[in-house]
Amino acid sequence: MRALVLRKPGQAYLETIADPATTDTTVLLRVRMVGLCGSDLNSFRGLNPLVTYPRILGHEVSATIVEDLGREAVLRGGTNVTVSPYTNCGQCSSCLRGRPNACQFNQTLGVQRDGALTEFILLPREKLYPANLTLKELCLVEPLTVGFHAVTRGRVTANDTVAIWGCGGVGLGVVAAANSRHARTICIDVDDEKLDLARMAGAQLTINSTQEPLHERLLEMTGGRGPDVAIEAIGTAATFRAAVEEVAFTGRVVYIGYAKEPVSYETRLFVQKELDIIGSRNALPADFEAVIKLLEAQTFPIDQAVSLVVPLEQAADALRSWSDNPSRFRKIMVSMD
């Protein structure tokens, strides 16, 4: 079968690889569409510290079940599913604490193990989520779940104003999840198009931090206190610091982004503000179920969120142009049909 193999940073080729060998505990899936996100772009550029090469990318997946499992009506052959791309070992402290999303030995599809930019993949049935959604929508489930999980980690309530740095797929998930809890949302980005999309996804307020003074605007929007919850979904030193600096006293800071360099802080603020500083990684099954419900309700701006769909043959070129011009695309999807 065909696959897009990333031999080393910047070098992706369409290659023929062996068909997967089915087992009793896995389900054979025909891949239909794969979403590419910032972490795939980082892998392509050699900037993702978690990835090893050669690697087949792809962790945002819509697929069709090939074989009929028989026992369970919802997982019949022909059923469209999205997948949870994570693994959990069951033994580490995260797994033992009921937080398998942060498994110490997690292997995400397309990062620590080969992913979905190929014709067929095998996954355990508990990683499959059937849903009444289009192929594009199924691919958007995973990035949105990461935002949903961060909102749970931040214990967001209807009394909170939530500031979100970064309006990519994950940031939009934060907006949707905060809305579902009736919180107020302020989106911060450097790209007006992304801010427009955030508004379509339900953000009440937006700030373009290259054109407006961030600190002053946040104070205006929050009665002089700063946001109750600050959620960082970019991964730069400046935005890591800004979250701590701008959040209200006794507020909560949630980090989703992976910073690519060490970040230095005025740690006095941690103590003085008595902050809860929280990491948020991947997502739990409940997050997948919540996002599927959200998308099934047809309130999310799917078409505006996806800027380009290409066939597998053009995926390497698409990654190259994205890498050359990162602000030109919102989300790229690869169609395998």
Applying CB under 5 A, which residues contact Zn ion?
A: 37, 88-89, 92, 95, 103, 143
Which residues are CB-contacts of 183 (< 8 A; sequence separation ≥ 6)?
156, 157, 158, 159, 160, 161, 162, 229
**Strands of 55-56's sheet, edge to edge?**
11-16, 2-8, 55-56
Q: Which two tokens stand for residue 313?
A: 């043959």
Q: How many residues does the chain have?
A: 337
Least Å distance, CB 91 to Zn ion, is 6
Backbone phi and psi for residue 41, each to the nearest 5 degrees, phi listed first: -60, -45
For residues 95 and 318, which CB has a smaller minimum distance to Zn ion in the complex? 95
CB of 270 to Zn ion, least distance (A): 28
Complex with Zn ion: residue 88 or 145, whichever CB lies closer: 88
Q: 93-126 burial, b for 16+ CB within 10 Å, e for fewer? A: ebbeeeebbbbeebbbbbbbebbbbbbbbebeee
Nearer to Zn ion, 83 or 95 (CB): 95
- Least Cβ distance, residue 223 to Zn ion (angstroms): 35
The 3-state DSSP composition of the chain as helix, strand, coil percent (nearest 5) reads 35, 25, 40
Q: How far is the CB of 39 from Zn ion (least distance, A)?
A: 5
Pair 35, 331: CB distance under 8 Å: yes
CA distance 1 to 30: 11
Comparison of 142 and 189: residue with beta carbon closer to Zn ion = 142
Task: Using the minimum distance from each CB to Zn ion, give the nearer residue, 137 or 160.
Answer: 137
**Least distance from Zn ion to the Cβ atom of residue 169, Å:** 7
